[in-house]
Each structure stands twice: as structure tokens, then as C-alpha cells.
Chain A
Amino acid sequence: MTAKKITLDGNQAAAHIAHKTNEVIAIYPITPASPMGEFSDEWSAQGKKNIWGGVPEIIEMQSEGGASGAVHGAVQAGALTTTFTASQGLLLMIPNMYKIAGELSPVVIHVAARSLAAQALSIFGDHSDVMATRATGFAMLASGSVQEAMDMALIAQAATLRGHLPFVHFFDGFRTSHELMKVDLVEDDVIRAMISNDCLVEHRQRALTPDRPVLRGTSQNPDVYFQGRETVNPWYAKLPQVVQDCMDEFAGLTGRQYRLFEYFGASDVERVIVLMGSGAEAVEETVEHLLSESEKVGLLRVRLYRPFSAEHLLEALPSSVQALAVLDRCKEPGAGGEPLYKDVVTAFAEHVAAGGEKFSVLPRILGGRYGLSSKEFTPGMIRAVFDNLRSDEPKNHFTIGIHDDVSHTSLEWDSTARNRDMDGVIQCLFYGLGSDGTVSANKNTLKIIGEETDQFVQGYFVYDSKKAGAVTVSHLRFSPRPIRASYLIEDGQASFIGCHQPQFVEHFNLLEKAAPGAVLLLNTATPADQVWSSLPRPIQEEILAKDIKLWVIDAYKVAKQTGMGRRINTIMQTCFFAISGVLPRDEAIGKIKHAVEKTYGRKGRKIVQRNFDAIDASLAALHEVALPDSAQGDLDFLPPVPAEAPDFVQQVTATLIAGKGDTLPVSAIPADGSWPLGTAAWEKRSIALELPKWDPDLCIECGKCPFVCPHSAIRSKVFTEDALKDAPEGFLYRPMKGKDVAGLYVAYQVAPDDCTGCSLCADVCPARDKSNASHKSLDMVPKEEIIEQDRINWAFFEKLPEYDREKIAWPKMKSAMLAQPLFEFSGACLGCGETPYIRLATQMFGDRMLIANATGCSSIYGGNLPTTPYTTNPEGRGPAWSNSLFEDNAEFGLGFRLAVDQHRHQAEVLLAQLGGVLDQELVREILSADQSDEPGIHQQRERVERLKEQLRKLDRDKARRLLSIADYLVKKSVWIIGGDGWAYDIGFGGLDHALASGKDINLLVLDTEVYSNTGGQTSKATPRGAVAKFSAAGKAAPKKDLGMIAMAYENVYVASVSSGAKDVQTLKALMEAESYSGPSIILAYSPCIAHGVDMSFNLRQQKLAINSGHWPLYRYDPRRREKGLNPLQLDYKKPSVPLKEYYQTETRFAMLWRSHPQEAEAFLSLQQEAVQERYHHLEQLASLPVEETEESAS
């Protein structure tokens, strides 16, 4: 039987088996494993059944810890159950994993293996996470490819039922989880044949049930615990053979034979690489190449890592082996070697010590680390590992893939080495923007070729760290043979390069990877006969040197002409098929059209036609450029950062921005994970298509534009006429209105290369031309109209002095917005609803702020390299920011407060003790200072500076100790920031505890009502009736009322705000929260692209949310009670807009009417009632008289 071919990624492959073979699936989002849960949820929502005819129950839990608990319970109660996770998520499962294994329970956890957060978080792939679970008692089965992810998922499922031991089935995050490959589908009959009914019945018999009650989970004492731990040995002893039997059975059903340890290479092998995961694919390809050069090399691929069967390992290796390099994709600092290495050494040592039937002496065994955080692992590196094995002075505990100039662990490698297996493989690269559809089009191309031709395909997609204006690089391979290259397309290998955005050629050399004779397809508005002279000279030289054929198309023009707007994906895909030679041109065009029809079908007939028109028009607009014989002009690439950037930025940050971070040596990277602030300002991305143009004559100086700007890209400054003497011609400003500001001028200035063009500033601008209502003080205009002048203006504006913070009249908006933002130019999405709150907080408290930031969007745009938006003021002060984990953020931030309080307390004690030798008046003033406002803080800073001067002159320990903590005598502001996934779900326990602590902390919850960063999964903040991932059929439960929970403590300041709907209320809430000396929590409504709304409507959505009652506005200030006032103040009016009006504007709600209309109506009806009830409830609470205390009553 020929298996059905399917093009899919590793996550889908594993989820396919998991959904077919389980009854309960507990899920929680984490990159890169989230899609496994998403697929399962969607399939169950569609009613897809497992092999027993049931629809698996999917439950999203509050954390991976919760998911593992639910799995544990479900399996104990006799259900077949699974979960999916990675990285920190797997760590949270460890406690339950010990239990599950200890109770001999059959479970498979599918893991997209990923790095662990240490000096930094990384979402990319390695084995750090799975290696941390090797003591739990779970069996560990590794997959190295998309095909294996499906096959091993089934083998693990079969083996867990037969062997009574749970499995971690893992494959490499991103490289396998996200790689698209053409594979053989494992059909239901194969699954049924592998999962026997007897095993299922046996599992049911072991279920906890009152019909056959037993007690599990006892507490044992020294007398028996140890023995109990040893009872399980027979199951571990048997399991390797159980797994091999399953593999053999699977081979009989599918023809694909796997082994626990699989050897590939010379029969008289001398040098062997031992490893597991996707790296083995590249090693196999390289070994094959080296064998053809008569090298005696081999590969030992480890599939079953736990239980570790030394017997099978030694049996698999030819006896001729003389040297082994054991490669671990993880690091165990301080250990004598990484885990796989030590296991292999132990296996050999025990074998030799016991007499050595097969190996009488120990071969050379070297351990090495590779591929951490998806670091490339290429044929050149693999050769270097083999070379090290025969070196006279081999390195042990080496690294490969980096340049270690600190500990000198690294092996050098030849980056030009290539494998013969790549001959005949068509390799194509596509450079696009995240938002231009390049990746979707390439996935589509892979499916077309994979499923409609005999060719094998592979697609891997590299993303950058930004959410707005992100660059994507798609690596596509097409081959008549299966593809094993588990590495990116290498330099000089791509026969096709698609550059989908014209500006890329100005920034970097995208021809480095081009093969001789390659085709370069450039999307550009420059006419074909003028393109050559517009290219940087290095690109021209590379084109001529490699004899590259240059084709151009004005894809945006074709898109516009054919009604596709700015959507160029179909156009570029058509051009690719027309000139790449992957398929005959006419056949290819026919297949694209067929795919378009298949995608849109009758749901978008007009779109189908428009795509067809675009396909036809693309061919007509595609031109080959006749090339001259020599390069011309002296245009060079734009520098990644300006020349005036500081050294670190020039040497490190610029390298990262240029995409050359792999070349940085170990010594360039800060050892403890500390990086400088203010780097985003050097990364001039210039991604806006339109910029706001300011008309000073219309401006009313309201300050709303800087307030709403998500990227701090429009600013206001106030200055005197003196400051203008060097102003460039064309610099815009206006005299301020009002007697108290006579003689002062104001400017509202956009940073044109940092603006994203989201248009919120123009949207909020209230100042209209009295004779033309469509003209405002801020209008969006095409970037080209003003960018040159604005660059000049911004450079001047930056040099204008910052406004004196002591003069700011908080909470007046126009005055407040003169405070310098210490959060600027982040990589957040266009129109982001979160960032204005963070920027505002930094404007208010940034120079004395510590931020604990939960993992999520805010930690990514806040702290994902290469740059950070957090910055410093002219005095060098700014937010001190750190991200610990997702789940512990409140506790982490509380720790900040405890430390700060300790420092302050110690400083006060020392101050008192040193009082006799210090200025008495100064000490008294410091200890009794009022720091409740900016002047108070400023004066205290001055006092502390004077104190420090005096302390420096004192030669005694106490003075030196006080000097180290004297700055804590100035009030510090501790902020705990994160999204709703943290606050409502995974971090709720800690958040609750932090609120109960009574400590002076400020929690800012950026509530997008979904897990935004991982792709929009449901949280407990998701409203009823919303569609989200993990709630494909609409969320049935209402949103948790975190505000009411916090208010129940009575001593917690609580505010619910929406900056786009009521700006001054937000400002007041932040002021009040910060000034409150106990815990404060601010729930901040944050529209997000996950809502299915064009974010240029961000402000409209916030107003609708308030007016419909979806989002309440209030402030609960415990201090008011002391004044005899009700602590709760309602800041919104009775809902005046039907909730349906709001729901219809957001796709997350509206789409439910199209898929589940009855449920949608029912949810709306319940929710409409709920928002009215909530209003009445809050109104009643807010109008209750405050109970009189006994004292006041008497």
C-alpha cells in the first residue's frame, strides 16, 4: 500500500497521532509547542474523532504545572491522556512527572524541545528542557525529522501502553516543530494495529474507581520508601525491548524501520558521532558524503535515551570504532560533561571494566556541545567534529558552531564545506516582511509542489524579534530525494533569491547565499532600465561575479491594479514559479490557480478572480534586466546604526542588527545577561508608509498625540526663544497659549525613522480646520512628502533640553506629556494597545523605577535582542528592567521591593549611627523628607548627593556601607508588569500573594484578553463569546473579575483603566497607585491584533468597549475610607451602546456568528445582561455610605 503523502510540520505530525490516540488532552500555550494544542482544540471543535470514535476532550489549564496535574488525574482515572509542551513548561511538569512515572502510568508528553531561560530566555530549539527531566523516570524518545515526529509519536504511544512507563517524545523546537516537510501520513489502520485493545482494557483495569478501590499516593517512611523505589526496575529493564518490538511492528506496517540506537556508516568505521534529534539528519548526510571519499566514519543516532540501554548501544556500534564524539544539544555548567556524553562513557567504561567482550579497551570518547538555541549545525561543523576525533591533540568538552575566545572550547570549521547530497536540490530563499504574506505564499508553494508532484520539499522560516516590520527569511528546498539537510541554506547555494521588499537591498547583501547562475527576483518600483544604477555596488559586483540573472517586477503596482491592495504574495509566488524552473511554467501557473481556488473557494469568489487577475498581470509585468559588464556608482549598504552610536552599540548591537550575530565571539557577550539601555534609538528601521504631518497653526497643545503613541515616536517639548537660535529652516513650533506660559514655545515632533505609521496620533487629534473638517493639526501623509525635513527637525528636537520635571502639572495631559519617555521605539505591533501604558509609567516614574516583567509580549518588545526600548534620562537614570519567568513575576517584583526596603532601612539605621559625624540638619532632613511629589524627590536626591560627598570623606566601614546604599534613601518605585496570561492564569497564585503582602508594589496588568505573544490563546481574561485559540467554538465561561478579587482585600488600590477611552483617568490611576504605600493593581485594557481588528481603530475600540460596558472604568482607593469617603469611584457611565455593536466590530466575536450562530446569540445575551448587572453592582458599591468608625460615631 502506498501511503498518502502530506506536507506538514512536526507539530502537526505529532498532534495528528496524539489526537487519534487520546481521550483527554490538557493544554497550555508555549512556543514552539503551542500549535500541537491548537490543532487538537480545532480538531475537537470540528468533531474529529480518535480511533475509538470519541472526540477527545480538550482542556486548557492555567499553567503547564496545571496541565500535568490534569494529565496525572486523568490517567489515574483510566483515560488515555496527553499534553504538549516545551522549555519552562516542561520544567513546571517535573513534579507530576515523578508521580506519573512512579505510579507506572501510560502517558506520552510531546515536547518541541527548546532552550531554558538562564542568562536570557530563548524560544529556539535545543535539548536543555528534556535533559532536565531525565531523572523523572519518564522514558525519552527522540525524533529527528517531521516524519519521525509522527512515527515516534505512535511508537511512544504504543510502547507506553505495553510497557507501563510514561514517555517524553521530543523533537527539536522550530527545526522540526516548524519545518514543513513532505511525509507519509500514518493512517488510522496503522494506528489501530499498533494500539491494541488488550492494552487499553488493561489500562482501564488499573483505573482508580470506587468499584475496585485502591489507595495510591501514600506517604511512606524510612522503613519502605527505598524498597518501594526499587520495585519498578523490572519495567525499566524490559522497556527497551518493548520499544524495539513496537518499532519492528511499525516497520512491518509502514516499511519504515527504526532502532533504539541506529548506526549509519562504514562497516570498518573508526570515527563515530553519537547524537540525537534533528542534527542526526545533517550528520547522516555528511557521513554519506565522507564515505564516498573513503573516510571511515559513522553516525550513531540515539532514539531511546531513557531507559538508557548500554547493551543496545554497544551492540549497534561496529567493533572497529576507535573514537567517538558524543554531542549534546544542551549545557550543564560545572558538570564533568553533558548527559549523553557521560552515559556513553559510562556504558563503555562498565563494559570494558567487566571484561569487554566486544570492546576490550576504551575508545577515545570526546564530548561536545552544539546547536544551543537553534544555532546552526552544518556539514562543515560536522567535518570539524570528525577531524577533532583524529587530531593528535583533540579537544574534549568542545563546542562547535561558536567562536569561544574566552574558554577556548570551540573547534574551528570550514564554512565552505558542502555535501554532495545537495547536488540537484533546488534551494530558494525569500526575504519578506512579516506582514506581506511571503511566508504564507511559501507554505502554499510547498504544499503545491509537495502534494501535487513527486518532488520532496522542505520549508523553514526564520523570523526576527520585532512584531512590527519584522523581516522573514524563508528557506525552501525541492529535491527528487528525501531531504536531510537540517540546516539553513548555506552561502553560495541558493539558485533563487526572492527579495519581496525593495528596501532590503539597501541594507544587507542578500546575495551571499546565491549560487553561481542564480536568479534574483526583486520587487521594486524602479523601472527595469534604471534598476542597475539603484543597487548598492557590492550587490552589483556579486551579480556580475556570480553571473546572476536579475528579474524585476513592481509587485505593489500590479497589486494595486488588480485590486489586491498591498498584497503581493500571489504576485511574487507567480513570478517565482515563472522563472525558478521548479516546475514547467504553464503547469506551475495552473497549479497556483488551482491552489487559489482551493483556498478561497466559494467563500471569496471575487478574491479568487482578483488573484487570477494578479497572476496573469504578474507575468506581463515581469522583466529580466539586461546587465552591463561592470559595476557602477559608489552606493554602499546603509550602516546598521549611525556612526555616532556608542562603542558597544557599534561593536555588538550593530552586528546583531545586521544579522551577523553568529559571528560574535563569546567575549562580546555580557556574562551575567546585563545589557545596556537605550539601544532601540540607534536602530532606525523607517518602517512607516505614512507619517503624521503637524500643522502648528491648528494645534491646541492638548498633548493627546504623544499620549496615544504606542512607539513614543511623537513628542512634545517646551522651550524659550533662545533654544531656537540654531533651529533648522523648516523646524515647526508655535508660541504657547496662555498667560502663564507667555514667552514659551512648544513643538510636537515625530521621529520619522522610528514612527510605524499606525495613525493613532492623527486619529486622536481633536484640532480641526474650521473651514475643512477633514484637515486636522495632525494628518497622515505619504512618508516621502516629509521624511527628509522631519529627519532634520527630529535631530534638532532631540537636542532641545528636556522639560524640568518639577514644573510638570500632573495630571494635566499637555503638561504630563512633556515628561521624557524612558521607553521608546519598541518593536511592538503597529497600534499596540499595551505600550502606551508602559511609556506613561516611565514618563511618570522611570528615573526611579524597577520593573519586573512577566514573559510575554511586553518582555519581547521590552527585552528581546538586538535592542531594548528602555532608555535613560540625561542624568543616566532609567528603568531597571528584568524578566524572570512567566509564572513568578509578582513574586519576583515583590523580591525587588523587599530588597529595596531592606536597603532603605539599613541606610536609615546607618545614617542614624553615623549621625554624629555627619551634618545633623542634613540627616534630619533626609530622614523626614516628603517625597510625595517631583520637587520632594528632586530635593531628596540633592540631599543624598550631599550626604554621599560627606561619606566619601569618611574612612570607616559604616560610611562605605552607607555609601553603597545611600541612593535608596530616594524613593524607588517597584512595578510588576505583565499580560493577562500571567495575571489571570499562570501567575495568579503569586499575584494574589503579592497583593496580600501589604507591600508597596504596583502591578500593571496589560490585559489583551488573550495570550497575545504565543498567538492568541484563551486566558481567563478572555471574554465570554470570544473565539480564540483553544476556544475555537467560542469561550463559554465569563471573564474572571480580577478587580473585584483584588478589592476584596480592602487594602489594595485597584483601578480599571482604558487609556484610549479616558486618558486622564488612566493618568490619575497611575499616580494614585504609585503614591499608595501598599499594593496597587491597575487593569489596563489593551486592544491587540489578536482581536481581529485593524489597530488603526484602537481608540474607537476602547471607546466602544467602555460605552458598551464591556470594560469598566473605576478606581478603588483604600485611603478614601480614612477620609470618610467611599473608596470606590466609578469612572464610566451606564452602558449606552448595545454590546452587540461592539462585538460586531471585532472579528474575535463576530466570527462566532458565522460558525456557531446559536451559541453566539446565547453568549451575547448572557454577556449583555452581565455588563448591565456589573454596572449596577459597581454603582451600588460606589454609592454605599462608608461605615462610621466607633471613634467618629461617639
Chain B
Amino acid sequence: MNLETTYLGLKLKNPLVPSASPLSRDLDTAKRLEDAGAAALVMYSLFEEEVIAEEEQLTGLMDFQDLGHGEADTYLPLHPEYKTRLDEYLEQLQFLKETLDIPVIASLNGATDSGWVEHGRELEQAGADALELNIYFLPMAEDSAEVVEARYVNILRQLKGQVRIPVTVKLSPYFTSLGHFVRQLETAGADGVVLFNRFYQPDMNLETLDVQPDLHLSHPYESLLRMHWIGRLYEKVDLSLAATGGIHGADQALKLLLAGAAVVHQASVLLQRGPEALEETLAGMQRWMEEKEYDSVRQLIGSVCQDHAIDPEAWDRVNYIKTLRS
């Protein structure tokens, strides 16, 4: 049985790719993921905010420790070998490349066109096989859809201007016309899109009334939104589609591949259960394919997308009405 797939032009041994998570911070865990069958690895994200905050902190240390007191004009000693988060990220990327045989996709996460994507070139030089661009921008009431979309396209163009390796864009589901927008990204040079980003919603502390960050892992039902949109986009756009969010086992993985995903990403389930979960997903997929007599993954990818579905209307609004009436 041939499990191979092609994602962002990269030939992968199977379609299971752990997505950006802390798991890639540890080389042993990364190796265990590879051993469990991961076909590629998306690294944890290099965050624009972190890079900028660190720059500010360094400025404070290097230049603004002045207190104006004769006894103390500085406080903390700055080691010349001080590694920034960028240094650390590049080093970890190099270690991962040395340790693993599978492709490594670096992840850049940010929201502005401040120039942080310039780091893409350094990621490429450090050995990244591809880049995942994760733009997390929350528009205000005065930002029109066009302005928001233009921002994404602009950031993508800046990055594409820096690198030769493939770039995929991780998107949220909150776009007025997703298909049209993905086509814009395609025109701007995107080699793929990843559907969908999960936003961590802040929570509120009823004691203090503080709004605080909160982290919830994904749930399998979240994969349905991904399946729906991948099914609708497959063959409507000419770039790689990846699914992320709620893929906890073979069932979700298979459905997303059938809908049209070239790869499926996992993170929450791996954080909860470890690399074994990926191994089980792969085994489950293989069992199903054997049962259903599929020869290859390529055969099944997109085979139940909107255009190829037994009932294409089931992907549409009609389905919605039927569901309500039932």
C-alpha cells in the first residue's frame, strides 16, 4: 500500500504531519514522532511578538540601564553569547534537521508587516524545507474585509520575496469569501494553505474581572469545519491543502484526506497521548484502506470533495435545510 502524498512540492511518505506545538522543542520527542511515522514536522512557531519583546528587553539591557546614580550605572550583566529567541529557533531548526530524516517546516507567527518575515531567509538558510506562515490578526471595526485580506497578501508577498522554499499560509475560518481569498493568496505565491487556525479565546476571571489567556486543546468535532471547507476548495484552487484542528484519529484523518487534504496535522492528541497517537492514526488509516481496498493515499485524496461527492449538494446549504427539517 502506497501511503505517499505530495505537500508543498515535498514528497512525503504518508500524510500525517505533526503541526506547530511545543513537541518540536525537544529533540527526543521529535525523534519519537518520526519513529511513530510522522512524514514531516511543523516546528513550534517563532512569534513576532516574542521577537519584538525580546528586542525591547535587550535594548533595555544594552542601552537603557542608566539610572543616573554614581554607584550603579547598570544592573544585569549581558553575556556576549546571549542567544535570542531567533538564535534559539535557528539552532533548534538545525538540530532537528540533523536529527530527523523527514522534512521540517518552520513556522512564523505574527500579525503585522513590520518586517519580521525577514527572518524567513534565515530559517531557509538554517535548513527549513518549507515555511508555514501563521498570521493571527484580529481586525477592528474600522478594518474592512479588503484591508484585512490585503494585509495577509502583503505579508505573504514580503515573505515570498525573501525565500525560495515553499510557503504555506495558515488561515482562520473567518473570511468573507474563503475561496476567493485563497485564490488571492495563490496569486501572491502561496504554495499551500492550512485550514484552520485555532484561536485561543481569552477567559474572564470573575473574581478580579481580569481577562486572561486560556488554552484548550482541540476536540474531534472541530475537524468537521475543516472537512467542509477543504471539500469545497479541492480542485477549485491550485495549491496544497492541509487540514489542522480536531484530527485525533484515523476517522478524522481519512475524512479530511477524502475531502481533499494533501496532509493532515495533529497536535492536541499528541500533546495528550504522545507520539503513539500518531502511530495509531496511521495504523487505523491503513486498516481502513485495506478493508476498502485502496491502493494508495493519492487515490483517495479528494475523492469525496464537493465535485466528486456522491451527492455534491450535501456539501451545500441544502444539507443545512435537510438537517433542520430532520
Interface residues of A, Cβ cutoff 8 Å to B = 31-32, 34, 38, 41-42, 45-46, 123-124, 174, 178, 432-440, 461, 463-467, 470-472, 567, 569, 599-600, 602-607, 609, 768, 773, 829, 860, 1012-1016, 1027-1029, 1032-1033, 1089-1090, 1092, 1147-1148, 1151, 1154-1157
A605 and B118 in contact, given A464-B68, A471-B68, A829-B67 (Cβ under 8 angstroms): yes
Docked-complex contact B80 and A46, CB < 8 angstroms: yes
- Interface stretch of the complex, out of B82-90, B123-131, B150-158, B177-185: B82-90
Is B62's CB within 8 Å of the partner chain A?
Answer: yes
For B65-105 the 0/1 string (1 means CB < 8 A from A) is 11111111111111111111011100000000000000000
How many A-B contacts if CB must be within 8 Å? 148
Closest to A464 in B: B68
Docked-complex contact B58 and A1015, CB < 8 angstroms: no
Instruction: Please name 11 pairs of A and B residues whose Cβ atoms are closer than 8 Å in the assembled complex, sorted by A.
Output: A45-B77, A466-B68, A467-B68, A603-B58, A607-B55, A609-B115, A768-B209, A773-B209, A1147-B61, A1151-B79, A1154-B84
Is B147's CB within 8 Å of the partner chain A?
Answer: no
A604 and B59 in contact, given A609-B115, A1016-B75 (Cβ under 8 angstroms): yes
Give CA–CA (A123, B64) in the complex, Å: 23
A1154 and B115 in contact, given A437-B63, A600-B62, A1147-B57 (Cβ under 8 angstroms): no
Docked-complex contact B115 and A435, CB < 8 angstroms: no
Docked-complex contact A606 and B69, CB < 8 angstroms: no
Give CA–CA (A1157, B56) in the complex, Å: 21
Docked-complex contact B77 and A1154, CB < 8 angstroms: no
With both chains docked as a complex, state the minimum distance between the C-beta of A934 and any C-beta of chain B, in angstroms. 35
Is B314's CB within 8 Å of the partner chain A?
Answer: no
With A1015-B74, A1016-B74, A1016-B75 given, name 10 new contacts (CB 8 A): A123-B70, A174-B70, A466-B68, A467-B67, A567-B59, A600-B62, A605-B115, A1016-B76, A1027-B79, A1154-B83
A439 and B68 in contact, given A46-B79, A604-B59, A606-B52 (Cβ under 8 angstroms): yes
List of B residues within 8 angstroms of A471 by Cβ: 68
Closest to B59 in A: A607
Docked-complex contact B76 and A1028, CB < 8 angstroms: yes
List of A residues within 8 angstroms of B75 by Cβ: 1015-1016, 1029, 1089-1090, 1092
Closest to A567 in B: B64
Partner of A1151, one of B59, B74, B82, B116: B82
Is B323's CB within 8 Å of the partner chain A?
Answer: no
With both chains docked as a complex, state the minimum distance between the C-beta of A350 and any C-beta of chain B, in angstroms. 42
With both chains docked as a complex, state the minimum distance between the C-beta of A97 and any C-beta of chain B, in angstroms. 25
Give CA–CA (A256, B121) in the complex, Å: 51
Give CA–CA (A602, B116) in the complex, Å: 12
List of A residues within 8 angstroms of B57 by Cβ: 1147
Closest to B80 in A: A46
List of B residues within 8 angstroms of A1029 by Cβ: 75-77
Partner of A435, one of B68, B77, B80, B114: B68
Partner of A437, one of B52, B61, B64, B79: B64
Give CA–CA (A31, B55) in the complex, Å: 31
Closest to A39 in B: B77
A599 and B62 in contact, given A46-B80, A1154-B82 (Cβ under 8 angstroms): yes
List of A residues within 8 angstroms of B72 by Cβ: 1012-1016
Docked-complex contact B58 and A1155, CB < 8 angstroms: no
Closest to A1156 in B: B79
Docked-complex contact B66 and A440, CB < 8 angstroms: yes
With both chains docked as a complex, state the minimum distance between the C-beta of A430 and any C-beta of chain B, in angstroms. 12
Smallest CB-CB A-B distances: 8 pairs: A434-B68, A470-B68, A1015-B72, A1155-B79, A1016-B75, A463-B70, A31-B71, A604-B55
Give CA–CA (A864, B59) in the complex, Å: 31
List of B residues within 8 angstroms of A123 by Cβ: 70-71
List of A residues within 8 angstroms of B83 by Cβ: 1154-1155, 1157
List of B residues within 8 angstroms of A768 by Cβ: 209
With both chains docked as a complex, state the minimum distance between the C-beta of A1143 and any C-beta of chain B, in angstroms. 14
List of B residues within 8 angstroms of A1155 by Cβ: 79, 81-83
Give CA–CA (A773, B78) in the complex, Å: 40
A433 and B77 in contact, given A607-B55, A609-B115 (Cβ under 8 angstroms): no
For B3-33 the 0/1 string (1 means CB < 8 A from A) is 0000000000000000000000000000000
Closest to B209 in A: A773
Docked-complex contact A1014 and B71, CB < 8 angstroms: yes
Closest to B52 in A: A606
Closest to A1014 in B: B71
Partner of B67, one of A32, A438, A609, A1089: A1089
A463, A1028, A1029 — which one has the most chain B CB atoms within 10 A of its CB?
A463
A432, A602, A1015, A1155 — which one has the most chain B CB atoms within 10 A of its CB?
A1015
Docked-complex contact B76 and A1151, CB < 8 angstroms: yes
List of B residues within 8 angstroms of A440 by Cβ: 63-66
List of A residues within 8 angstroms of B62 by Cβ: 599-600
Give CA–CA (A1148, B71) in the complex, Å: 20
With both chains docked as a complex, state the minimum distance between the C-beta of A472 and any C-beta of chain B, in angstroms. 5
List of B residues within 8 angstroms of A464 by Cβ: 68
Give CA–CA (A569, B84) in the complex, Å: 24
Give CA–CA (A875, B181) in the complex, Å: 78
